[in-house]
Amino acid sequence: MSESNFAVFGHPIRHSLSPRIHSVFGQQLGIALQYTAIDAPPETFATQLQAFDGRGANITLPLKQAVLPLCAEISDFARRVGAVNTLTRRLDNHWRGDNTDGAGLVRDITQRHGLDLRERHGLILGAGGAARAAAFALLDAGVAELTIVNRTPERADALADAIGEPDRVHTRYWDDLDSLGNFDLIMNATSAGHSRESLQLPFAIVAPRALCYDLSYGVAASAFLAWAHVTKAGYVHDGLGMLIEQAAESFAIWHGQRPDTDAVYEELRSALPLRASD
Ligand code: NAP
């Protein structure tokens, strides 16, 4: 095993910002490391992971579920979410799986943007891996109620069932969004923006001073952010900060030290086409 080798596995992976983020963290704390992006189609991922000699790895789309059976140990949060984004090599050479997406999201909202999640009435759009991490983390952070709406309703129901809190978590149909009242927390956890598809969202779902948050960033977040800016939302943010905070959580697992995230946030923010409001 190479102590200083780290990687992110995904497919496609060319545009991943993780190598840059971890390199800045390492420089900041004087930790020598190599962090590479490895393109791993699902068919060859297990073999590629077996050949990897590093101490830790991040796992991204579309492999976060596929990696579960390759872990000898899985953290409680990753098990609840059903997805792993961080692997750490144990002393016996087997992998431990964690999921840092939820902690990264909550830290971005509460620490960077200074917003309180407690007692909010939330709406999550989407029910994929990111929505699952967001839902569990937001409930753990004290959100009062969550409504989950997904294009494929069965996946929303499956997420609500996995959470198992019928008093706090409800599912509704996309076509009924008009009649659901309003929410003071609206999370776009769909991947629609990556294929330039825009979501049909009524303005009426946004409560005055609400937080509208898109888990994606860059061009993929632009349509949702543009919509949110013309609503009554008080706060509109993309997922760049979540990306950096989840990376910092992974870094802390591997190196035992949490890096300062502000410098890399400012660097990457200035390179993105859109700026969210603060
Ligand atoms: P995923 O597992 O593939 O799930 C995609 C979700 O988007 C599903 O709920 C899917 O609905 C929905 N969807 C896709 N196209 C849609 C459309 N045209 N209209 C309505 N719904 C649509 O992906 P994921 O891992 O959850 O990622 C979701 C988003 O979160 C992505 O934009 C990703 O970049 C972002 N993300 C950000 C971070 C971060 O650190 N900032 C971390 C993880 C993910 P169906 O179930 O009907 O297919």
Tens of pLDDT along 86-142? 999 999 999 999 999 999 999 999 999 999 999 999 999 999 999 999 999 999 999
Q: Is the dihedral of CA 248, 249, 255, 256 positive or negative?
A: positive
pLDDT in tens, 44-80: 999 999 999 999 999 999 999 999 999 999 999 999 9
Q: Residue 156: how many CB atoms within 10 A of its CB?
A: 26
- CA 163 to each of CA 132, 144, 213, 242: distance values in angstroms, whole numbers, following the listed order: 9, 14, 21, 22
**CA gap 229, 219 in Å, rounded:** 15
| Ligand 1 shell residues, CB under 6 Å | 61, 101, 104, 126-131, 150-152, 155, 189-192, 194, 197, 199, 215-216, 220, 239, 242-243, 246
- CA 134 to each of CA 23, 91, 175, 252: distance values in angstroms, whole numbers, following the listed order: 26, 31, 23, 20
In this model, does residue 205 exceed pLDDT 60? yes
The answer to whether the beta carbons of residues 218 and 243 sit under 8 Å apart is no
CA of 29 relative to ligand 1 center, distance in Å = 33
The verdict on pTM exceeding 0.85 is yes
In this model, does residue 277 exceed pLDDT 60? no
pLDDT of res. 2? 82
**CA gap 99, 102 in Å, rounded:** 7
**CA gap 66, 48 in Å, rounded:** 13
Catalytic site residues? Answer: 64
pLDDT in tens, 210-238: 999 999 999 999 999 999 999 999 999 99
The answer to whether the beta carbons of residues 123 and 261 sit under 8 Å apart is no
Omega of the bond leading into 12 within 30 degrees of 0 (cis): yes
Nearest of 167, 98, 162, 97 to residue 136 by alpha carbon: 162
pLDDT of res. 274? 52
2-99+247-271 shares its CATH topology with 102-240: yes
Ligand 1, atom 17, residue with closest C-alpha: 192
**CA gap 98, 85 in Å, rounded:** 6
The answer to whether the beta carbons of residues 8 and 58 sit under 8 Å apart is yes
CATH topology of domain 102-240: Rossmann fold (3.40.50)
Q: Where are the domains of the chain?
A: 2-99+247-271, 102-240
pLDDT of res. 54? 97
Ligand 1, atom 20, residue with closest C-alpha: 151
**CA gap 147, 170 in Å, rounded:** 5
The answer to whether the beta carbons of residues 97 and 84 sit under 8 Å apart is yes
**Burial status of residue 58 (CB atoms within 10 A of its CB: 0-12, 13-18, 19 or more):** buried
CB-based contacts of 234, cutoff 8 Å, min separation 6 = 208, 209, 210, 211
In this model, does residue 265 exceed pLDDT 50? yes
Closest-lying ligand 1 atom to the alpha carbon of residue 126: 9
DSSP H or E segment with residue 156: helix 153-163
CA of 38 relative to ligand 1 center, distance in Å = 21
CA of 131 relative to ligand 1 center, distance in Å = 7
In this model, does residue 276 exceed pLDDT 80? no
Q: Please state, rounded to an integer, the average pLDDT across all residues of the chain.
A: 95
Q: Which of 18, 60, 151 to mutate to test the pocket of ligand 1 (most atoms within 8 A of CB)?
A: 151
Q: Enter the CATH code of domain 2-99+247-271.
A: 3.40.50.10860
The answer to whether the beta carbons of residues 121 and 94 sit under 8 Å apart is no
**What are the tokens at 7?**
């990687």
Closest-lying ligand 1 atom to the alpha carbon of residue 129: 26
